[in-house]
Structure 1
């Protein structure tokens, strides 16, 4: 579940310690599980030593170690859920997508299973991550690390010349990744013309799928990563790391798999899909004010998916806008069906409004609980066997579990961003900044209130008026940085 990624790239000193202390306090505040129970850790250790347990899994496992998969992830990643291979086939393409087979390591009903339900998802923070599964599995025995034979759930999706799926197969398999590439490495080889056939095919299919997405009216957010770095003068600075084209093409493979998985489950009449209602018009109006603050032209007759497709996260104002655009996707959730009087959704009830198609999460089981269950439903649908009882029994409770997880992760993401913004602005108390008022609230204590979007650094912070008169919504405003509290993760501006 996407958040607002922030990385802390600073040396260890007193200021950094204060940030880490703030993050520790935030983890406790949102009740984020950090330490694993001893019995769950013992089970994970035993599973890692034993290897995959196929005796309790339906079907057989094919040997697909001859397929030259690669993984493409952020630099330094070790929790590798996906390995990909793309090649031309007749007049179209064949996508093979190997997903870590977590069910082969986690016994239903055991202490490890219970703890993953308590956590729900891996939570990323500027100083590391709190994993869904113990690292002996998520960064070891279950991770699709290079040159290691690993159990996987292998999706094979054949596409026509336009990039539309014409055949889908999913099976348990053994796979071996040939290489672990970072996004930067993959993009550099594509840009230099030295990429192999796999990467060239990935780029071609990625572009096709982006075109099909635009035709559907879907919107993918090219959300940049925010980094907090030490400036030359010893202060902190907040920068954006622009996402690369290959990241979007790689993401399209995951989206493709989620779309065909949702269709399999809906056709089978059992499963769990990811849903999102259409954007609230008030959020779209607020985002238009943010566009004005950043000098981004947004004609009235241009829908927001068309605008997003034309933005470049390598440009600072565009990066800031794309991060704020994530607020359009409020209300995302999960809907399970086929168990306990839960009907199969149809029409808009089954659709993810940003993707403009039914969609399911099945490609990140190391980092997201629900994927393990959707995957098993798809294996049953294609393999012609019954959905396992442990999956069927868990389906009704999954939406509530993932909703609770989503609220906790969102609270942590927001708090972490507030914290690092406070760190960046702390040395600048008393300075005057120029920004644009992008939101207004009801006056309180005789003062107008609202939110101010700054250009540099690209943050949104509360602003108080000099009196009860409303702040000039959508207009430029000079404001003094009145207060910064790193401990309380609070920044306040006062209109001049």
Structure 2
């Protein structure tokens, strides 16, 4: 019998796959009314449909939050970044708004997602689908030759994406030297911004990520996905916008930041100790950010140090403020203050962050419904972040068990990514399972042979011993 995630969904109190898009009747009714209303465009809104925006998303995606057009201006760049406009579409306190506040964000599972908004909105009337005129919050950000952001503005406008691109396709176009004209500058700008953030101390970890896929035989498998250059460059555009949004909020004294404190001394000491153990050369006065930027994720020692670096990124939270800014406004992983504003179809807080910035740039008061929500948004998002993280981790753990079921006692090749007194954490060469391994003296960053000791589906637990 094929494996499924029904038990996991029930445990996490998530609907079955066929019902993932199910919303209460009043929410669906309001969503249909919103969809009909927003497709009749306000003639007083700026028409920016002549800007050749494009979207970059996974193949087949329909909940398209962002569209970009990049141009070179002198020896710098101008970023035009259109974000799906939900602020004027969703009535505050209405059925869709109340349901979204309960959900917090879209939760992804291998057999389907549990969306933040009904599909009529997130995949239809509010999505930046190619060829369709949509209302958007359009950011314009100038970036100089050093990568520093200059003039920043955001306003409402009508936009029309000219193409829906996907990550692998865009990467292939850059590899072939023939990218789409709208993103021709993405590589140069992305590298420049990443270099700048590293100089600011950003903790950028290029670890390959585990993901669950379905093979041709309809079996679930775990694989490692390396982040491509285009993944990184695309992320830099979103980060640039979030950093610009945070500065607007801090200057105006109102907003909601995503924060992460600097790493504590114990975590830093452990990072440098691991680097020495692994034999990684650390230049004098180098920061963790600078060391991480030089690592090759194909090397076992690099993977081990990157894994250790995740301990530097602890304590993330949200800081709402209306008046005095937070005492600790920084996001240490990014290297600057940062706010969520670029994914409103999939994350609740972005709708509110966008409204703050639109009001600031228009010179108007931040809407009362936005200000009233600021004290509670942090808790809502923290709870939904926890649910989403639990769903992601549990699904991977479960598929790891399925892949190794019936193979207890077999030997596997692995890399030690973290060692301690009683054993450590390993990643198998194939399948790419991350698990606990017992046995003293594991060589951190080294290759070992291990024996599968346990694969327990009920506990979603896989463990090994050193051969």
TM class by shorter chain equals 0.7 to 0.9
Separation in 2, partners of 1:317, 1:60: 58
SS at structure 1 position matched to 2:184: helix
- 1:330 CA displacement: 2.2
Q: Specify the alignment match of 2:386 in structure 1.
A: 407
2:237 alignment counterpart = 253
Aligned match of 1:41 in 16, 28, 46?
A: 28
Contact 2:415 2:429 in 1 (8 A): no
Per the alignment, residue 345 of structure 1 pairs with: 326
Note closer, same or farther for the CA distance 1:30–1:412 as it changes in structure 2 (3 Å cut).
farther
Query: What is the TM-score with the length of structure 1 in the denominator?
Result: 0.83
Select which of 202, 214, 217 maps to 2:186.
Answer: 202
Q: How large is the Cα RMSD of the aligned pairs?
A: 3.3
Cα displacement string for residues 217-245 of structure 1 (whole angstroms, at most 9, x for unaligned residues): 21333354434457899987532122211
CA shift for structure 1 position 19? 3.6
Per the alignment, residue 438 of structure 1 pairs with 418
Cα distance in 1 for residues equivalent to 2:338 and 2:396: 29
The question of 1:483 aligning with 2:454 is answered yes
Query: Is 2:9–2:15's contact at 8 Å kept on the other side of the alignment?
Result: no
Inter-CA distance 113–483: structure 2 relative to 1 (3 Å threshold): same
Q: 1:279-290 maps to which residues of 2 (within 5 A)?
A: 279-283=263-267
User: 2-side partners of 1:402 and 1:169: how far apart?
Assistant: 26
Alignment-derived partner of residue 468 in structure 1 = none
Partner of 1:445: none
Kindly indicate whether the alpha-carbon contact (under 8 Å) linking 2:58 and 2:167 is maintained by their aligned counterparts in 1: yes
Assess, with a 3 A threshold, how the Cα gap between structure 1 residues 162 and 126 changes in structure 2: closer, same or farther. Answer: same
Structure 1: tracts of 5 or more residues without a match: 1-13, 442-448, 466-470
Q: In structure 1, what is the Cα distance between the partners aligned to 2:147 and 2:415? A: 43
Q: What is the distance in 2 between the residues matched to 1:225 and 1:236? A: 16
Change in CA separation of 1:373 and 1:30 when aligned onto 2, cut-off 3 Å = same
CA contact (8 A) 1:483 1:492 kept: yes
Asked if the contact 1:53/1:105 (under 8 Å) is kept, the reply is no
Instruction: Say whether residues 1:297 and 2:284 are aligned partners.
Output: no
Which residue does 1:368 correspond to in 2? Answer: 347
Q: Distance in 1 between matches of 2:315 and 2:463?
A: 28
Indicate whether 1:126 and 2:110 are aligned. yes
Shift of 1:134: 1.1
Q: For structure 2, list consecutive stretches of 5 or more residues without a partner in the other structure.
A: none
> In structure 1, what is the Cα distance between the partners aligned to 2:117 and 2:325?
31
Look up the match of 1:5: none
* 1:207 positional shift: 1.6
Q: What is the CA deviation profile of residues 289-334 of structure 1, one whole-angstrom value per residue up to 9, with x for unaligned ones?
A: 88799x7836496543223323455678867875775453221111
Q: CA deviation at 1:365?
A: 0.6
Q: Aligned-pair distance for 1:139?
A: 1.1
Deviations 1:447-479 (A, max 9, x none): xx55431342443323456xxxxx336557664
Q: Which stretch shows the higher mean deviation, 173-182 or 305-314?
A: 305-314
What per-residue deviation string (whole Å, max 9, x for no partner) do you get for residues 331-365 of structure 1?
111100016xxx3125xx11111111111110111
Distance 1:30 1:320 in 2: 37
Aligned partners of 2:155 and 2:115: how far apart in 1? 26
1:335–1:145 Cα change, 3 Å:
same
Of residues 187, 193, 201 in structure 1, which corresponds to 2:171? 187
CA deviation digits over 1:350-398, x for unaligned, max 9? 1111111111110111111111111111111110110101001000111
Aligned residues: 460
Q: 1:412 to 1:236 in 2, by over 3 A?
A: closer
Change beyond 3 A, Cα 1:159–1:305 = same
For residues 57-82 of structure 1, the C-alpha deviation after alignment (integer angstroms, 9 at most, x for no partner) is: xx962110000000011222211100
1:454 aligned to 2:441? no
| Distance in 1 between residues matched to 2:227 and 2:252, nearest whole Å | 37
User: Aligned equivalents of 1:389 and 1:172: distance in 2?
Assistant: 19
* Structure 1 range deviating more: 247-256 or 196-205: 196-205
State the SS of the aligned residue for 1:423: helix
CA distance in structure 1 between the partners assigned to 2:62 and 2:273 by the alignment? 40
The SS at the match of 2:49 is coil
**Cα distance between partner residues in 2 of 1:254 and 1:234:** 34
The answer as to whether partners of 2:3 and 2:220 remain within 8 angstroms in 1 is: no
Other structure's SS at 2:364 match: coil
Higher mean C-alpha deviation, range 316-325 or range 120-129: 316-325
Where does residue 441 of structure 2 map in the other structure? 472
- Which among 90, 98, 110 is matched to residue 74 of structure 2? 90
Give the distance between the partners of 2:464 and 2:279, measured in 1 at CA: 24
Q: Does the CA contact (< 8 Å) of 2:212 and 2:396 recur in 1?
A: no
TM-score normalised to structure 2 length: 0.88
Deviation of the 1:402 alpha carbon: 1.0
